[in-house]
Amino acid sequence: MADLPRRRARIVGIVVGILAVLAVGAVVVAVLIAGLPHETAAGPGSSPTGGSAIGPGLPQPTKGAAAVSPDGTEVTFTWTNPSPEKGDVYYWARSESPDDRQVTPHTRVVVTGVVPGSRVCIDVALGRSGRTSAPERICTRP
């Protein structure tokens, strides 16, 4: 009869252990399904991929220029970073489709599929350390 309390204690311990394992498993599954919260480094505004704060004091791209190809179907946009730092990226999008943002580490992008003679504009912003500068609009001449 003395073995009965030990047996019950052992069974209770096993049940508690199983419940703990199930609880941990449920948390792991919930994290895998929902994903861990994280900070994104996205460009100005909001998008399906998230956004970031406009960084106070973060330099805005300057000296934007647009060069149209001879056949008028491509435009090469360039700009200058007035205070470059390692790791800087640039978020850009055509002004008529701001949610179709692209990211590049370069100060040059080529937009293809342009209708010859049409005005094309992009908005470009500097991204640094999870912050984004105010955008600079660069356009072809009308």
Query: Would you put residue 119 in left (φ > 0), alpha (ψ -120 to 50) or beta?
Result: beta
Q: What is the pTM of this model?
A: 0.61
* Under 8 Å between Cβ of 123 and 92: yes
As a CATH number, domain 62-139 is: 2.60.40.10
> What are the residue ranges spanned by the domains of the chain?
1-37, 62-139
pLDDT in tens, 86-141: 999 999 999 999 999 999 999 999 999 999 999 999 999 999 999 999 999 999 98
42-77 pLDDT, tens per residue?
Answer: 333 333 333 455 656 789 999 999 999 999 999 999
Cβ pair 125, 51 in contact under 8 A: no
